[in-house]
Amino acid sequence: MTGKKKFRAETVLAMRRRHEEEARQSFAAARTAVDAVRLRIAALAAAMEAYDAEMRQAIQAGADRRAMETYRQCATGIRRALRDEKRRLEVADRTLQIRREDLLEARKAREVLSRLRDRLALRQVLAERSAETRRHDDAHAAHAAARGEA
């Protein structure tokens, strides 16, 4: 591999590695965001279940009209929050999918460049071996010619 090609390949490969690492970090952040939204949804669903159970007990105990109205308002707020979190989850899932695709693309680009660099290195090694073989053949031919064996 010539010095210029080697330097350029290594520089580009380093850039691709950085891009892959940035994509990996973005993917991890997106996955963390999705997990956080899912946790909030689970917490809201659990709160709604607990609130429903509490209200059922209050109704059985003879809850008044004011308690029922308070329940409706709180339940509506929880349902609204659940709906909002589910929308956030859809957005977070789309973002996660985009980040996953970015990561795969960055990984492919780095792997392609790594293979190219390895091929260039192999080509350089083969060229050096060929040149060395030629030198040995020339030296042997010159030695044989000097001894009169040609």
pLDDT, one tens digit per residue, over 13-35 is 889 999 999 999 999 999 999 99
Q: Is the pLDDT of residue 2 over 60?
A: no
- Sign for the CA dihedral angle at 45, 51, 57, 62 comes to negative
Contact 2, 117 (CB under 8 A): no
CATH code that applies to domain 3-111 = 1.10.287.1700
Give the per-residue pLDDT at 3: 56
Give the per-residue pLDDT at 7: 64
Residue 2 is which amino acid? T
Q: Is the pLDDT of residue 1 over 50?
A: no
Q: Which two tokens stand for residue 90?
A: 């859809």
Computed over every residue of the chain, the mean pLDDT equals: 89
What is the mean pLDDT of the segment spanning 93-105? Answer: 96
Q: Is the pLDDT of residue 150 over 60?
A: no
Q: pTM value?
A: 0.70
Bigger pLDDT: 28 vs 113: 28
What is the mean pLDDT of the segment spanning 99-123? Answer: 91
Among candidate residues 48, 42, 35, 41, the one with its CA nearest the CA of residue 96: 35
